[in-house]
Structure 1
Amino acid sequence: MNSGDMLYQLVFLIFIFGLFSGVFFLVRSLITKQPSKSENIEQKLDRIIDLLEKDNKN
């Protein structure tokens, strides 16, 4: 087996591994569907604003 064949097999193995990893992470992200970080930040900011408004009224 010469070095060209070994290089080809190595590149193809890395490609196959990357393809399976990409599909795995895509499926995992679609299944978990966590609320986005921006929504969480908006909710926290709304809560802080509400608390500040209550504090200013008192």
Structure 2
Amino acid sequence: MNIGDVIFQLVFLILILGIFSGVFFLVRSLVTKQPSKSESIEQSLIELLIYLKRIRKSNLFPF
């Protein structure tokens, strides 16, 4: 094997590893952007609890 062949194979090995790691980090960053849904649900539940407390204070619906 020539030294040029070894360098060629190393360059393409690094290129292939770079492509796989790029795809991995891209997918990981897309997956981690989903938690905004849970924050929205949490905010909705907080608003619901505030509404129920107002109803309870006004005695429209005694618990």
Say yes or no: TM over 0.5.
yes
Matched residue, 1:17: 17
TM-score, structure 2 normalization: 0.52
For the aligned residue pairs, the C-alpha RMSD in angstroms reads: 1.4
How many residues are treated as equivalent by the alignment?
Answer: 35
| Structure with the largest fraction of helix | 1
Name structure 2 gaps, 5 residues minimum. 37-63
Greater relative contact order (CA < 8 Å, ≥ 6 in sequence): 2
Question: Between the two proteins, what is the percent identity of the paired residues?
Answer: 71
For 1:24 and 1:32, the matched residues in 2 are separated by 12
Asked if 1:27 corresponds to 2:27, the answer is yes
Name structure 1 gaps, 5 residues minimum. 36-58
Larger Rg: 2
- 4+ aligned runs moved over 6 Å, structure 1: none
TM-score, structure 1 normalization: 0.57
Residue type of the partner of 1:4?
Answer: G
